[in-house]
Structure 1
């Protein structure tokens, strides 16, 4: 692809917008990166997936550092949850090194995954409307010594594994599963859920980027340009999400997921 000044500027701008929106939503950015590369630049989806994984590594570290400074995430919890996400990515690597999957199937799986996450968020929003509104505080309390936390975590383990599996397969970071899992299963506040999700995405992206660089097809030039913008956007998004009310953040995540899913289908 020949890079003009216009195209370079467009890629950086798309990176900024994607990084900002994905960090607010805690979904890694892959849903935007893959969508842009396949829908706007007509990349084969397998190359878009691998390049997206490369970009996510840079965008997620920017969000991760910002959230750490805001004390909205925990390194200990993030690494602990990431173990299961990385396990899912390893399983995906092994499985699809044996079984080759067609690009058209990849695109359908990508859209279906977005829809599932979106419907999960719809359920949470409807449920919240039927409950007494309680002022949500910023906290990341979690302990396996707590019986309720332990039971909830057992339910969340397969979801974290699935997040890592889809992250490796679809280049989406895994946040579309991580954020609802943290919020709905482990009962973290939505603001902490998006922050911890971004942290898990970062650690998982380290593994996935290494693997894709060895056996994948990363377009490093395109990826680097988008990454420049996504780093700036991630920093902006982390600051914006801190001030965004819970109901708006939930609705925002929902709109993003459903909108992109519909666009990928059509």
Structure 2
């Protein structure tokens, strides 16, 4: 029953995540927390696998549909996100070891996610002033920041990806979503490799991947197709709607933990 529920959640989340550039994890993580069927570590791992699979499918589909990438930008953002993804997962494991109860880590994840959600919603809604950095260091540092947050929070990419790319490089929202998915691919790959080398996969119920991976593939395909059909304005509306929905879920999850 849980596998079926996860399957449905991931298809929905990854479809929306591919369209909006958020990666799906920003929905998967809090909804899985809400369901409460697995530990914080397991939920973070399942979310990572789902989002990584979606990013592979979505990027491949975008290339086949003729989407253009600036490979220099992709390269430096991705290099930064790999470093950030490794640092984020190491930090996550250290926090789990430091706190006596895992719910403290979950609460920290929720608080940081809410902060990034509020920033992203206000940025897109009110069209803050943007910049046009073009240096290698800017791309690298941006990738590291986003990779770190994605890995630490277990949300793949989240709204902060799109908002920060638009803020620092003046990307239109549809371009920002494409580069966001590339960052998500690299940061989540780095996280999976780090898990494999540091702790291994034995502590997770890997049978759940039989539902998670196919659902992630379907969601990635749907999302890539929709992304090419929707206008900039509609993508922005989807982005704002998802941010608001996830904000409400995270606030509820935080309230449930505290009270």
TM-score normalised by the chain length of structure 1:
0.79
Provide the C-alpha distance between the structure 2 equivalents of 1:194 and 1:225, rounded to a whole number of angstroms.
26
Aligned-pair distance for 1:75? Answer: 7.1
Aligned-pair distance for 1:82? Answer: 1.0
Gap regions ≥5 residues in structure 2: none
What secondary structure does 1:150 align onto?
A: coil
What whole-Å deviation, never above 9, does each CA across 1:121-162 have from its counterpart, x for those lacking one? 3333343499xxxxxxxxxxxxxxxx95426x6555444222
Aligned-pair distance for 1:14? Answer: 1.9
* Pair 1:16 & 2:5 matched: no
Aligned-pair distance for 1:205? Answer: 1.6
TM-score normalised by the chain length of structure 2:
0.81
Distance 1:154-1:30 versus aligned 2 partners, 3 A rule: same
What whole-Å deviation, never above 9, does each CA across 1:186-228 have from its counterpart, x for those lacking one? 1111111111111111122222112223415443221331221
Counterpart of 1:235 in structure 2 is 221
Considering Cα pairs closer than 8 Å and 6+ residues apart, tell me whether 1 or 2 has the greater RCO. 1
Counterpart of 2:75 in structure 1 is 79
What secondary structure does 1:80 align onto?
A: helix
Distance 1:55-1:127 versus aligned 2 partners, 3 A rule: closer
Provide the C-alpha distance between the structure 2 equivalents of 1:129 and 1:83, rounded to a whole number of angstroms.
27
* Pair 1:187 & 2:170 matched: yes
Provide the C-alpha distance between the structure 2 equivalents of 1:125 and 1:97, rounded to a whole number of angstroms.
33
Counterpart of 1:247 in structure 2 is 233
Counterpart of 1:262 in structure 2 is 251
Aligned-pair distance for 1:17? Answer: 0.8
What whole-Å deviation, never above 9, does each CA across 1:235-265 have from its counterpart, x for those lacking one? 1111112222323322322332332232332
Q: How many residues align?
A: 244
Counterpart of 1:141 in structure 2 is none
Counterpart of 2:212 in structure 1 is 226
Distance 1:126-1:41 versus aligned 2 partners, 3 A rule: closer
What secondary structure does 1:204 align onto?
A: helix
Worse overlay, 77-86 or 35-44: 35-44
Worse overlay, 65-74 or 22-31: 65-74
Counterpart of 1:29 in structure 2 is 24
Counterpart of 1:104 in structure 2 is 103
How large is the Cα RMSD of the aligned pairs?
A: 2.7
Counterpart of 2:149 in structure 1 is 166
